[in-house]
Amino acid sequence: MGTTVFNPVQQHLLTMFAFDGSEERLKEVKAVLFNYFQQKMDQRLNELWDSGILDQKKLDELRTKHLRTDLK
């Protein structure tokens, strides 16, 4: 098995959890990360909507598309 190299974010999280690795802390961190990335996604979607790249017609098209791929 090869060596795993952690990026700076992973290193920071490991250091942080060395002090308090409780289940409660994990839930809090998950919630914070979820909210952060949800805000980023909302911001990007608003930019796409405002620029006209994304509109109701495009959303309706995406609703009927099969986006899953076979990983074989």
Q: Provide the mean pLDDT of the chain.
A: 89
Q: Burial code of 40-70, b = ≥16 C-beta within 10 A, e = fewer?
A: eeeeeeeeeeeeeebeeeeeeeeeeeeeeee
Q: Are 6 and 14 in contact (CB under 8 A)?
A: yes
User: Tens of pLDDT along 29-59?
Assistant: 899 999 999 999 999 999 999 999 999 999 9
Radius of gyration of the chain (CA): 19
